[in-house]
A and B are shown apart, each in its own frame.
Chain A
Amino acid sequence: MLEKLSALEQQALEALEGITEEQALEAWRVAHLGRNAPLMQVFSALATLPREERPLVGQRANQVKTRLEQAFAEKQRQLKEAWLARTLQAERLDVTLPGRRPPLGRLHPSTQQLRRVLSILAEMGFQVFTSREVETDEYNFQLLNIPPHHPAREMQDTFYVDAGLKDDTYNWVLRTHTSPGQIHAMRYFAALNPQDPPPIRIALPGMCFRYEQITARSEIQFHQVEGLVVGHHVTFSDLKGTLVDFCRRMFGQEARVRFRPSYFPFTEPSAEVDVECFVCGGKGCSVCKYSGWLEILGAGMVHPVVLQNGGYDPQRYTGFAFGMGPERQFMLRYRVEDIRFFWSNDLRFLEQF
C-alpha cells in the first residue's frame, strides 16, 4: 500500500510537471485530488486495511495529499504569474499617445484678472461695490469735479447716449470710468448715518467705455477697478502704503513701486503709480518701452469737492482713490500684445488661460 502511495505521488507530480494551462491544471486536480482520484480511494479503503497498518497508511496518505495540494498551489501560482506576465505584455499601450481630455470650461481672461485684483483687495478689507454702466453726465463728470467744457474731458473721449431730450446737451453717457461709483457709494454710505457717515473701503469693478478707434492699444470698452477709502484718518502716506502692499501682492514681494505726480480732476494731490518692469527687472525691454517701469495705477487723495458731493464733509473726512485696468495688467502679465483679443473671443486665445 505504501508503495502504491509513493507511486501515486510520483505519478501525480510527474503529470503536474508538464502542465502549462489552467484547464489542464484543473483536470489534474480532479484526477489526482478529486473525489474519485486513486489517492482518495486509498482513504476510503483505509477501513478495509488491517488495524495495525491503518495509522501508517493513513499518515502516509495524508502526507501525499498535503504534498500534492502544495504542489498544486505552487503550480497554480506559477500559472497565474505566467498568465499575468502574458496578459500585461499583451495590454501594453503606447503611453505617448494623447490622452482623452474632458471638455474644460474656463473663465474669460478679464474675469480671471478681475478676481486676482478683487481677492487681494478683499483681504485688505475692500468690499465690492458696483454701479450702472449708462450714467448721467452729472455722475460721470460734474459730481467728480469735471464741469462741462473742462479740459479734463479731453482726457476721456466719451460715448454720449441719446436720452431722447430735445436740446443738444447729451446728459447721458456710457461711463468713461468706474468713478461715478464713488459718488453712488459715498451717497449710499452717507445715507446710513447722514450726521456721522461711516468710513468707506470699497472696490469698484466694472466695464467702462471710451470713444476710441479700436486698435492693438485702445478699445471702446474695458474693465476698470477702483478703490475708494474714506475716513477720519486717511492720508497720502496711507495711500502709498496701501498701493505698495497691493503691488507687491500682485507683482511679487520684490516689486519696486514709484509714485509720480499726475492729474485727475477728482483727486488732489494725484499720483501715477509705476511698478518696476517685471519682464526685464528694470533694465529696459520692449514691454516697458525701455523705461524700466510700467504704469499700473492712477491714484490720489479724494478731491474735497468730490467728498462734499458724496455727502462727506471734507473738513472732517479725507480719503484716497485709485484705479487700474485689469486687461492692461493681464496683457503685461502674459505679454499679450493686442488688446483686441479680449472681446474678439477667439477660442485659440481664450483657451490658453
Chain B
Amino acid sequence: MKVPVSWLKDFVSLDDLSIEQIARALTFAGLEVEEIRYVGWPMQEPIHEFKVSGLSWDREKIVVAEIREVMPHPNADRLVLCDLYDGQQQHTVLTGAPNLFPYKGAGRLPQPIKVAYAKEGAVLYDGHAEGQKLTTLKRTRIRGVESYSMVCSEKELGISDDHEGIIVLDEDAPVGMPLADYMGDVVLEVSILPNMARALSILGIARELAAIFDRPLRLPDLRLPSPYAEGRLADQVEIEITSPELNPRFVLGLICDVQIRPSPYWVQRRLKLAGMRPINNIVDATNYAMLELGEPLHAFDYDVLRARAAGGKVHILTRTARPGERLRTLDGVERVLQPGNVLVCDAQGPLSIAGVMGGAESEVTEKTRNVLLEGAAWNAINIRRTMLMHNLPSEAAYRFSRGVHPALAEEGVRRGLQWMAAWSGGQVFGDLVDAYPLPPRHAPIEITPSQVERLLGFSLRRDELRALLERLQFTCEAFGEDGLRVHVPPHRLDIGEGIVGVADLCEEIARLYGYERIPTTRLSDTLPPQIGNPAYEWEESLRDLLANLGLQEVITYRLTSPEREARLSGAQDESQYIRLVNPIAPDRRVLRRNLLVSVLEVAERNVRHRSRIALFEIGPIFLPRPDDLPLEQPWLAIVMGGDRWLPSWDGGATAKMDFFDLKGVLESLLERLGCDPGSVNGVEWKVESEVPYLHPGKAARLEVEGERLGYAGELHPLVRERFDWPAQVPLLVAELNLEVLRKRSRLRAARPVPEYPPVREDLAVIVPEEMPAAQVEHLIREAGGRSLTEIQLFDVYRGEQLGPGRKSLAYHLTYQAYDHTLTDAEVAPIRNRIIRRLESQPGVQVRRTG
C-alpha cells in the first residue's frame, strides 16, 4: 500500500520524527516499508536501511505562483506566454500546456491561476523523457523568446507520470510559499501481510504508529454535515438481506443536489500518491474515504434507482446470483454471474457485484444529481472467490477479501458523505438506513502473565500487559489473581478465541514490546528421542561415493513432458503420468516417470563445453497409484561419455569411455555398499538385449536374487541420435532403483588381513566367444572354494592360433589360508578341481601358463 506521510499526519502527530524513524517503526511492527519515495520533502541523508527514491523540491527555486494573464507566443501557435507572479516579482514564462490555451488572449484573468513554478537551476524530472530522468532547468531561448523558468506538470515534480498539462493548484494556495512546504510529501510503500488487513487504510497505519510511539490517535469526527436535506431516508429506501452470513451489514446514506466536477487538487494529489486515479468529486470521495478508513464504498445514481422503482420505495436486496443472470459492470463488460456471487439488487434486478464492482446502469455520471452511498460488510471468502472467478482484483475486492470489520460500514458511509458534501455542495439526509443482522461476536480473551511467559519466555506484570494492549485500543479488565480479560476493539477480525486468542494477543504484546527487547535464550527443554534417519544418511553416503568416483551431481526439474521422456523410450501414454492442472508451460506439465532422460538432457547441453561428461542424479520419480497419492520412488541415474581422461597438453586424453568405464564405476559403488558379486547380496550382471533404448549387445540388467535393480549399458545408436551428442562417441547410461539397492546394501564384517603368504598363479581358459566372462568366473569361484580368495581377469585374447569363435581369458588366481602358509600339495587339488570344472563345459579348454 502506498501511504502519503502527510495524510498520516491528519491522524497522528509525527512532526518530531524523521521519515526513517517512521519507516523503521512500521517495519519493526510487522508493516514492512519496502520503499521510501520522496515527492517534494527534503530528502534525508540516506542511511541504507531502506530503498529510497524520488525527488526533493528546492524550497527557494520551486514555489507557488499565480498566472495573471495568458498571452499568445509571437512565433509559435502551440506555445503561450504567461504573465506570472511568484510572490516577489513578475515573470514571463513560456509553456505549451494545453490546459492554459483556453485562457489565451483573454486578457487579465479575473481569478489568477495558481501553479507550481520552478526557477532557473531547479532540479526536476524531464517531462519529455521516458520514465524519471533528472534535469536542471537552464536559461534558453525558445522561438525567439527567452525562457529561464517554467510552470510544472505532475511528471516534472514526480507526483504522477501525467505530462498532459500543468498542475492547477487550489485557489487558496499561498503565492510565494515554497511548494515543498505547501504540498511536499513522502510516500511509504508498505507491504501489508494478510494478518494486517486492518492496516489497509491511512487510519489503520496511523493507529499502528500511535500505538508504537504511544501517542494519541486523532479519530475523525464522523457526524453527518448539516444542514440536512429535508425528509428521512428510511421513508424512501429499505434494505433486505437474504443471507447475513454473506452480508452481515448493509448501510445506506443519501446526498442530494450534488454538482459533479473535479475534486480539489489536494484530493487528486493524495489519490494519485496513493496509487488511484481521480475521476470526479463523488467517485473520488468514495475512494478517498476508503483509503482513509479502509471501508470500500459504492455510489449509486439515486435517480436511476428511483426510476427503476417507478415511484415506489427503493428496495435494496442482497442475494446470490441466479443461474444465467447477467450484469454489465462499470468497466463495460457484460458478465455472466455465477451462483455464489453475491449481488446488490433492486426490485428490477442486479445493480452491482457485491464488494467487487458496480453495474454500469446505476453508476455516477456527469448528470448525476443525487447519490445513494453504500457501505457494507461481506464474507471475505465469498468475495475472494468472486474476485478470482471474474478476474476483478479491484481495490474494494482486495480489502473485502482480506476482511473488513462490519463496524466500518457505517463509519465509511459517514466519511464518504462528509467529503461529498464538502466537494460537491450537496445536502445530506440526516439519517442512514442500516441493516445489521449479524454483528461479529468477539468473546473476550482471558490472559495471564504466566501464559505470556510460557509462549514468549519473559514475564510482564498485569499492568504492563494492560498498558501495551490499550495502546492498540484493546479494552482490558482485571481478571483472577493477575490476569486480564481483554475485549477486542471494533476494527479487528484477526484475533481468535481461547488459546488461539492468547497466541494472537502474545503477538501483539511481543510486537509492541519490541522483538529486539525479548531475551535470547538457549533451548532448555528435554532432548527428544534420537531416532536418526538411516534412509536419508544412506542416500547422502551414496552421493559421496558417486562424487568420489569422479561423477558430477546434477539436480534437474521434477516437471517434464511425455514428449521429453519419449526421446528415450518412445511415445508415452499421458495417462500414466501425474499431471499438473496449471502447468507453467506445456513442456513442464507432468511429473517425471524417468530420471535418466533429465540427466541425458544435461549431458547434451554440456557436450559443447566439455569433452568428458560424467554425471549422476539422485531423486524421485513419480508413479500413479490407484486411489492414492503417487509413489515417489528414489532412483539413481548415471550418464557418462567422451574422453576417459581430462584433456592434457601431452595428448593423454584420446581414449573414449566405453561400457567398462561405466561398469567400473558401478562395481566400485556396489562394492562399497556391500553388494559386490560374490557377497550375500551380490548384484548380478545379466546380459540384457531387450531394453529398447540400450545397445542390444552392450547392455546389462542388474539383479539381486532375481529382483531387478536396474540397467546399465550403452545408449542405442538410434536413440543417441535423438540427443545432441557427437556421432561415434558412446553414451553410457545406468539407472538404478534405490529402494531395491538400499534394502540390499549393508555393512560387511571386516576380513582379517592375512598374515601368511598367498600362493599366486595364472590360469588361461579358452572358451567359446558366446560364453560370458561372468560364467567363467562363477565356475572358477565355485570350484575354487574358500581358499581361492581373489580372481583377477588380466587379459582377453582373440587370435588366429585360437581359431574363429574362441577367446582366451587369462586370470591371476590367489589362494590364501588365514591360519597357515598354503603348500603346493594343498593348492594342487583345488587347481585340478577348477580345471575339471571348467573343462566339463563344452568347448572349454584350460592352459596353465605358469
Q: Could you tell me which residues of chain B, from 529 to 577, have a CB within 8 Å of some CB in chain A? A: 529-533, 535-537, 540, 543-544, 546-559
Which of A174, A229, A315, A345 is within 8 Å of B556, CB to CB? A345
Which of B515, B520, B532, B620 is within 8 Å of A244, CB to CB? B520
Given the interface pairs A229-B523, A240-B521, A262-B193, the reply to whether A291 lies near B550 with Cβ below 8 Å is no
A221 CA / B591 CA spacing, docked (Å): 12
Q: Could you tell me which residues of chain B, from 173 to 205, have a CB within 8 Å of some CB in chain A? A: 193-197
Give, as a whole number of angstroms, the nearest-CB distance from B170 to chain A: 37
Give, as a whole number of angstroms, the nearest-CB distance from B552 to chain A: 5
Given the interface pairs A105-B547, A269-B503, the reply to whether A234 lies near B516 with Cβ below 8 Å is no
Which of B511, B521, B578, B609 is within 8 Å of A347, CB to CB? B609
How many residues of A sit at the interface, in one of the four size bands?
A: 35 or more
Contacts of A245 in B (CB 8 A): 522
A272 CA / B518 CA spacing, docked (Å): 15
Give, as a whole number of angstroms, the nearest-CB distance from A1 to chain B: 57
Is B797 engaged at the interface, CB distance under 8 Å to the other chain? no
Q: Are A235 and B620 in touch, CB under 8 angstroms?
A: no
Q: Are B558 and A209 in touch, CB under 8 angstroms?
A: yes
- The secondary-structure label for the interface of chain A is mixed
A102 CA / B555 CA spacing, docked (Å): 23
Given the interface pairs A235-B457, A237-B519, A240-B520, the reply to whether A151 lies near B51 with Cβ below 8 Å is no
Give, as a whole number of angstroms, the nearest-CB distance from B290 to chain A: 18
Which of A105, A160, A242, A318 is within 8 Å of B581, CB to CB? A160
A172 CA / B629 CA spacing, docked (Å): 8
Q: Could you tell me which residues of chain B, from 10 to 52, have a CB within 8 Å of some CB in chain A? A: 27-30, 32, 46, 48-51
Stretch of B139-147, B646-654, B701-709 that contacts chain A: B646-654
Q: Are A130 and B622 in touch, CB under 8 angstroms?
A: no
Q: Are A159 and B580 in touch, CB under 8 angstroms?
A: yes
Q: Are B532 and A127 in touch, CB under 8 angstroms?
A: yes
A345 CA / B401 CA spacing, docked (Å): 41
Q: Are B552 and A347 in touch, CB under 8 angstroms?
A: yes
Q: Which chain B residue lies CB-closest to A315? A: B499
Is B605 engaged at the interface, CB distance under 8 Å to the other chain? yes
Given the interface pairs A100-B652, A198-B528, the reply to whether A212 lies near B584 with Cβ below 8 Å is yes
Q: Are A105 and B499 in touch, CB under 8 angstroms?
A: no
Contacts of A244 in B (CB 8 A): 520
Contacts of B521 in A (CB 8 A): 235, 237-238, 240-241
Is B301 engaged at the interface, CB distance under 8 Å to the other chain? no
A199 CA / B531 CA spacing, docked (Å): 12
Given the interface pairs A108-B555, A132-B632, the reply to whether A346 lies near B606 with Cβ below 8 Å is yes
Q: Are A292 and B196 in touch, CB under 8 angstroms?
A: no
Given the interface pairs A128-B533, A132-B632, A269-B510, the reply to whether A263 lies near B528 with Cβ below 8 Å is no
Contacts of B536 in A (CB 8 A): 128, 130
Is A86 engaged at the interface, CB distance under 8 Å to the other chain? no
Which of A127, A152, A304, A350 is within 8 Å of B530, CB to CB? A127
How many residues of B sit at the interface, in one of the four size bands?
A: 35 or more
B499-514 contact mask (Cβ, 8 Å, vs A): 1 or 0 = 1101110110011000
B244-259 contact mask (Cβ, 8 Å, vs A): 1 or 0 = 0000000000000000
Contacts of B507 in A (CB 8 A): 261, 268-270
Is B265 engaged at the interface, CB distance under 8 Å to the other chain? no
Is A32 engaged at the interface, CB distance under 8 Å to the other chain? no
Contacts of A301 in B (CB 8 A): 455, 503, 506
Is B266 engaged at the interface, CB distance under 8 Å to the other chain? no
Give, as a whole number of angstroms, the nearest-CB distance from A115 to chain B: 7
Which of B195, B527, B552, B559 is within 8 Å of A351, CB to CB? B552
Is B402 engaged at the interface, CB distance under 8 Å to the other chain? yes
Q: Could you tell me which residues of chain B, from 592 to 635, have a CB within 8 Å of some CB in chain A? A: 602, 605-606, 609-610, 612-615, 620, 622, 629-630, 632
Is A182 engaged at the interface, CB distance under 8 Å to the other chain? no
Which of B549, B550, B629, B649 is within 8 Å of A134, CB to CB? B629
A268 CA / B194 CA spacing, docked (Å): 13
A291 CA / B557 CA spacing, docked (Å): 33
Q: Are A260 and B27 in touch, CB under 8 angstroms?
A: yes
Is A342 engaged at the interface, CB distance under 8 Å to the other chain? yes
Q: Could you tell me which residues of chain B, from 218 to 275, have a CB within 8 Å of some CB in chain A? A: none
Is B385 engaged at the interface, CB distance under 8 Å to the other chain? yes
Given the interface pairs A159-B582, A238-B457, A259-B516, the reply to whether A189 lies near B528 with Cβ below 8 Å is yes
Q: Are A148 and B381 in touch, CB under 8 angstroms?
A: yes
Is A305 engaged at the interface, CB distance under 8 Å to the other chain? yes
With A107-B543, A150-B194, A304-B503 known, 5 other A-B pairs at CB within 8 A are A130-B536, A152-B194, A159-B581, A162-B580, A304-B499
Query: Chain A: residues with CB nearer than 8 A to chain B?
Result: 97-98, 100-108, 110-111, 115, 125, 127-130, 132-136, 148-152, 154-155, 159-162, 170, 172, 174, 189, 192, 198-202, 207, 209, 211-214, 220-221, 229, 231-238, 240-242, 244-245, 258-263, 265, 268-272, 283-284, 289-293, 301, 303-305, 314-315, 318, 342-348, 350-351
